[in-house]
Amino acid sequence: MAIQTNAMKNVLATAYGSEAAFAALYTTTPSTTAGTEPSGGSPAYARKAITWSSATNGVITATVTFDVPADTTIVGAGVHTLATGGSYLDGGTVSSQNFASQGTYTLTLTYTQS
Q: Which residues of the chain have pLDDT under 70?
A: none
Residue among 77, 75, 70 nearest 97 (CA): 75
Tens of pLDDT, residues 23-55: 999 999 999 999 999 999 999 999 999 999 999
* Residue 17, H or E segment: helix 6-19
93 pairs with which residues across the strands?
A: 76
Q: Rounded to two decimals, what is the model's pTM? A: 0.92
Rounded CA separation 20/23 (Å): 8
